[in-house]
Amino acid sequence: MRGERGGSAARARAGLPGNGASGDRRLAHGVPAARHRVPPHPDGHAVRHGASAARVTFLHPLALVGLAAAAIPALLHLLERRVPPEAEFPPLRYLSEAERQNARRLKLRHLLLLILRTALIVLIVVAAARPLFPTQASGGSLHEPTALAVILDNSPSSGLVVDGRPALERLKAVARGSLARATASDRLWLVLADGVARAATPEALLATVDSAAVSARRLDLTAAVRAATRLVGAEPLPAREVHVVSDLQRTALGPGRAGVPRGVRVLALAPPPASQAPANRGVGAARVTDGAAAVSIVGTPGTGAAGGAAPVTLRIHGREVGRALAVPGSTVSITLPPLGPGWWVGDVVLDADELRADDTRLLVWRVAAPARVAALSAAGGGRFVAAALAVLEEGHRVRVGGTDVAIGDRPEAGSLVSVVLPPAEPALIGQANRALAARGGRWRFASAGTPGPIAGSSLPAIAGLQVTRRYRIEAVTGDASRGTGGDTTVLATVNGQPWLVRDGNVLLLGSRLDTAWTALPAAPAFVPFVDALVNRLARGEALISEVEGVPRVEFRTRGADTIGAIVYGLDPQESDLTPAPPALVHDVLEAEVLDGAAFAAARFAGAGRRDGSGLLLMLALVCALVELGVATRTR
């Protein structure tokens, strides 16, 4: 028996090295030469670029440490193994052959028990690690841990009614499909039209999607994808994706490219073909100038030729006061009726179409009596100012002669507002400063300043015009805190230094309004500048600003006076519903543009994965039953 065991063991020892060596050689020939050189990557997988990902992954890979328990059955078998002492017993020598046959059967049974018990432990440990197997079946809903950002574009264009339902409903259904497949091991964000990335659980984000309504904000898809890809790209997870759920307007693609980081996958829901772009008209802008409302009409190109001109209605307090016809791309003027002094709010309305959000726009204007202006002398006002005032008087914008506004080189005591220009002679600067101080001024003329262009948001029409000669305007020494009071405003600058300052009822200008000092008098914007100077800036009024947001009007006040207004409305670009071509989307967003079915199939690395732990537990149960039967029969 010992010789037989020794021979089999020797044969086993003689055979194992040869088989192992040949297996190693076959493996070495099958591996590329560069496969062992894997570059380090701090936030990615240690896999050579271009190599296919592993087909089987684990939700709980740390549980595989339990595979060490597979050695327990082997250890127990070795510990329980006993070699009984051998002794010659002549009366029982005839039983030796029977004993040898019985020993062989016991060895086979013990080996089978060892294999079954080891397999049982391995199956239980691997099942605890929850292996995921790729599957093309619809039931495969599991996937690798994924960092996912869903961009749901609920900008105004998503309110377009298609087949009796807003387009936003279709977009929300697609976004829900992405979030519903997420698991607890995923990292999720949701981005709406406000551009804010919301990180939360799948349940919380699904509730946010369900409650999302059409927003008044326009979404820059390029900027949103750029931010989202960097957000998911920083996560140390096996998969990283960005799902763009949008109507993909051409105007929604902002400047530049998204610049998607390596390892991040971007999927975009395909828009309808460009040939199916819905016709649309909208009110782009509405402003009141010279007693009339100038209204620009925007929309999808080609709408005008298809549907003809559309009626444009101007209403004040719900009452129609004017009407005109216009097509997208045109501007119409609607004359206002005579109105009393004060601030007025109206709205411009188009006939309703499939996109209702852009069919109405608010507008605000102020009605005031023309300013009575006095230019004190040719030395103070100059011939250019006199000519501009003559033009404005002819247009009933000012009345020359009066005490509302005085233009000169020193403050006028009898006027409500003084526009003070620097004296022509440098020797008279001190006299002008003393007159300003006597008026309670907190700013004064200083030394000569350097030439430069005019800058200032309060007077955009004169921005960029050159100033060749000027005096610096500075706060009175030791009174800088008063010089920045609420009724003091720097309206324009040159080289970053004040050039036009409002200080209470004094407007201080750093240059004389003459071509020897600045190019402004020779520019077409000079007459509108003088108009704004005496009619708006002299009263302390600010520009009427137009801001993107929910349509409304907010008035700006100073004390008891209303000095301006902010009109909120939609971005006119939302009215152009032309979809972006897929090639352009791929180029700008670096995204795969897919229709609804392909988009759903491509989510989460494009293949569903089924949890194999159930099958492994069933196999473990079979192993346990077989082991029980073998062990019972052995006993």
Q: Is pLDDT larger for residue 278 or for residue 612?
A: 278
Could you tell me the CA-to-CA distances from 578 to 27, 303, 366, 584 in Å, in that order?
57, 11, 37, 13
Which of 130-134, 342-346, 379-383, 536-540 is predicted with the least confidence, judged by mean pLDDT?
379-383
Per-range mean pLDDT, top range of 88-92, 407-411, 546-550: 546-550
- Phi, psi (deg, nearest 5) at residue 287: -140, 150
Instruction: Identify the CA nearest to 401 among candidates 409, 411, 393, 410.
Output: 393
DSSP string, 228-285: HHHHHHTS-SSEEEEEEES--BGGGS-SS---PPTT-EEEEEPPPPGGGPPP-EEEEE
Q: Is pLDDT larger for residue 138 or for residue 457?
A: 457
Instruction: Identify the CA nearest to 564 among candidates 590, 546, 587.
Output: 546
CATH of 146-241+250-274+579-607, one of 3.30.70.260, 3.40.225.10, 3.40.50.410, 3.40.640.10: 3.40.50.410
Could you tell me the CA-to-CA distances from 255 to 221, 250, 410, 466, 588 in Å, in that order?
10, 11, 50, 31, 9
Collapsed DSSP state (helix, strand, coil) of residue 611: strand
CA torsion sign, 280 to 284 to 287 to 291?
negative
Could you tell me the CA-to-CA distances from 547 to 214, 572, 587 in Å, in that order?
18, 11, 31
Q: What angle do CA 134, 135, 138 make, to 5 degrees?
A: 140
Residue owning tokens 């574009």? 153
Instruction: Identify the CA nearest to 536 among candidates 438, 421, 405, 408.
Output: 405
Region 117-144: mean pLDDT is 72
Whether 186 and 193 have beta carbons less than 8 Å apart is answered as no
Q: Which helix (H) or strand (E) holds 606?
A: none
Region 325-332: mean pLDDT is 90
Whether residue 131 is predicted with pLDDT greater than 90 in this model: the reply is no
- Count of alpha carbons within 13 angstroms of residue 355, beta-carbon side: 27
C-beta atoms surrounding 275 within 10 Å: 6
**Tell me, what DSSP letter sits at residue 538?**
T
What confidence tier does 379 reach under pLDDT thresholds 50, 70, 90? Answer: very low
Query: Reading across the β-sheet that carries 342-350, which strands appear in turn?
Result: 319-326, 310-316, 342-350, 360-367
Q: What angle do CA 274, 277, 280 make, to 5 degrees?
A: 150
Distance CA 618, CA 127 (A): 10
Give the per-residue pLDDT at 377.
58
Q: E strands, 433-520, where?
A: 443-448, 452-455, 466-467, 471-475, 488-494, 497-503, 506-509
Distance CA 635, CA 625 (A): 16
Whether 146-241+250-274+579-607 and 371-537 share one fold: the answer is yes
Domain spans in the chain, listed from the N-terminal domain onward = 57-79+96-131+612-635, 146-241+250-274+579-607, 281-368+545-574, 371-537
Specify the CATH architecture of the domain 281-368+545-574.
Sandwich (2.60)
Region 397-422: mean pLDDT is 85
Q: Mean pLDDT in the chain?
A: 82
First CA to last CA across the chain, in angstroms?
Answer: 23
Which region, left, alpha or beta, applies to residue 567 given φ > 0 means left and ψ of -120 to 50 means alpha? Answer: beta
Is the CATH number of domain 371-537 2.20.25?
no
Tokens of residue 467, six digits = 């100033």
| pLDDT tens digits along 233-284 | 999 998 999 999 999 999 999 999 999 999 999 999 998 776 567 888 999 9
pLDDT over 70 percentage in the chain: 79
Give the per-residue pLDDT at 35.
40
Give the per-residue pLDDT at 125.
85
271: CB partners within 8 A, 6+ apart = 246, 247, 248, 249, 579, 580
Residue owning tokens 């200008």? 509
Residue type, 620: A
| pLDDT tens digits along 62-110 | 777 777 777 777 777 676 666 666 665 566 655 666 666 676 777 777 8
